Amino acid sequence: MLRLPRGIGLSALFILGAILAALAELPYGGWIQIPILSVVWWQMHQYQAASIKGQFLLGLSFGLGYFVLGLWWIYISLHDVGGMHPIVSGLAVFLLAAGMALFFSSACLFIYLRQRSRLTGLVLASCWVIVEYLRSVVLTGFPWMGFAEAQFNGPFAPIAPFFGGLACTFLVIWISWEIFQLKKTAIFSGACIILTVSISQLAGLWVFTKPIGEPLSIRLIQGNFEQKLKFNTQAIQEQFIFYTNAIQAQQADLIITPETAYPWPQSNLPTGLLTSLQNFSTNTASHVLLGLIGEVNTASGMQYANRALGLSPKAPDYQYDKSHLVPFGEFIPPGFHWFVNAFHVPMSDFARGKIEQAPFSITRLGQDTIYAAITICYEDVFGGELASRIRNSSQPVNLLVNMTNLAWFGHSQAPTQQLRLSQLRSLETGLPALRATNTGVTAVLGPDGKVQADLTQFTQGTLSSTVQAYSGKTPYVTWGDVPILSLSCILLILGWIRQRRI
């Protein structure tokens, strides 16, 4: 008969998962998460199930606590904005959290299968890297709330330019395991902890990118428009007027609005609006990036696209169409139209842009041309995709630009979670980033990911500042996730071989 883990063990792991998610929001959360994770391994050892199914439940309980707290803000978009029934909205959040928890519980199964050895922590870390990679690709991927993003405020952030966020995850899991093992193998585990943290900190001395040209003057516009008003005709007109006036208020080398700042199909925008903005660009030598709804001819007819439209002095219009779309919000998986109909959101099935799209060029008299890689909304969650785009770009990328609208999620931790993701992307690529958002966090990030200037959340205004563009490529941009995935596969094979011999 199946022996399930004790209820107190499941409850403890659920609570520990929630604590880990909450710690990510603290200034030194990445440091504090590691010893708390060691308590998770201790709890799993204390209540280790007599069956693989029981062990799976332990991991699932831990993952549920982590993701329910970390992703609760999706309820706001479903219920408060989308008008979905509270029970259905809550169930949707729970099911998403459960789906994400399945990845965590799969990695935790290794604890049940292991034979104690000095390879145990390394193989567990390898399992975690593989499932986190799968979480970024299965069903188009949703790698939000990984341990890597909290490492921007943790000990392993300097590893990101070398091997990316997955390598940070590897070290978090391994070192937390060695902390758990300190009582049994104090010398070995203590040496691993001290050496790994020391080497990681020393890695921060290496710099792979360098400044290019004079700093750009920039203006990032934050409209702070409620999502509930996004499809209200009068509110849309007010939004058009605000953003148009804000753009034309002052010259800058680069002016950026948030995602869908003009929430209307491009061909149906007010007559003369784009012409007026183009004239402003030409007359003031300003480059302008607009968030709007594009239109694309596809095999199945006309489709909308989540677009960034670039206006430059005496140059053709530039456009970037979002490539990595949000399931249910921007494209409808087969068989789920009923769900979107219940959500009551128009324009929720967008055309997908190409993965490889040219960067936006910023040309100034007597200066080198600066090239900016554009991402829209949660595209900056996918570090491997961004690294690939930079690596394969026909032009050298000098700057990252993210245009986003998180008004869907109200006054929650979603904006700060995405800010950490953007900071991690800057670390991985060694490039500064500009974040233009509707409700926040609108910010200028340095090549080290640190915030150089920002606007207060949930206020209407413009952030006027400067940003220094950079040139060069980090090892992560050059290699992507191949090194850490290869190492993880090798360690898993070694662990499997050792298990077979015992």
The reply to whether 422 and 495 lie within a common domain is no
pLDDT attached to residue 333: 61
The reply to whether 368 and 485 lie within a common domain is no
Residue 126's contacts (CB-CB under 8 Å, 6 or more residues apart) are 170, 487, 488, 489, 491, 492, 495
Is 428 known to be catalytic? no
Task: Please state the three-class secondary structure of 326-360 as a single string.
Answer: CECCCECCCCCHHHHHHHCCCCCCCCCCCCCCCCE
The reply to whether 109 and 231 lie within a common domain is no
* pLDDT at residue 497 greater than cutoff 50: yes
440 belongs to a structural domain? yes
The reply to whether 341 and 266 lie within a common domain is yes
Q: Which residue has the higher pLDDT, 83 or 123?
A: 123
CATH number at residue 435: 3.60.110.10
Q: Is 502 helix (H, G, I), strand (E, B) or coil?
A: coil
* Residue 266 in tokens: 């491009």
The reply to whether 32 and 49 lie within a common domain is yes
* pLDDT at residue 48 greater than cutoff 70: no
Is 259 known to be catalytic? yes
The reply to whether 399 and 493 lie within a common domain is no
Q: Which of 322, 330, 379, 473 is catalytic?
A: 322
CB-CB contact of 143 with 135 (8 Å): yes
201 belongs to a structural domain? yes
Is 178 known to be catalytic? no
1 belongs to a structural domain? no
Q: What is the pLDDT of residues 137-159, one digit of tens each?
A: 998 889 999 999 999 999 999 99
The reply to whether 247 and 275 lie within a common domain is yes
The reply to whether 496 and 435 lie within a common domain is no
- What is the tally of structural domains in the chain? 2
pLDDT attached to residue 1: 37
The reply to whether 389 and 245 lie within a common domain is yes
Q: Which of 132, 178, 259, 379 is catalytic?
A: 259
Q: Which of 377, 379, 385, 428 is catalytic?
A: 377
Q: What single-letter amino acid sits at 354?
A: K
* pLDDT at residue 345 greater than cutoff 60: no
The reply to whether 319 and 454 lie within a common domain is yes
2 belongs to a structural domain? no
* pLDDT at residue 336 greater than cutoff 70: no
Find tokens 């200066």 and name the residue: 367
Residue 319: its H or E element:
strand 318-321
The reply to whether 161 and 285 lie within a common domain is no
Q: What is the pLDDT of residues 74-116, one digit of tens each?
A: 999 888 887 889 999 999 999 999 999 999 999 988 776 665 6
Domain ranges, residue 495: 7-207+480-501
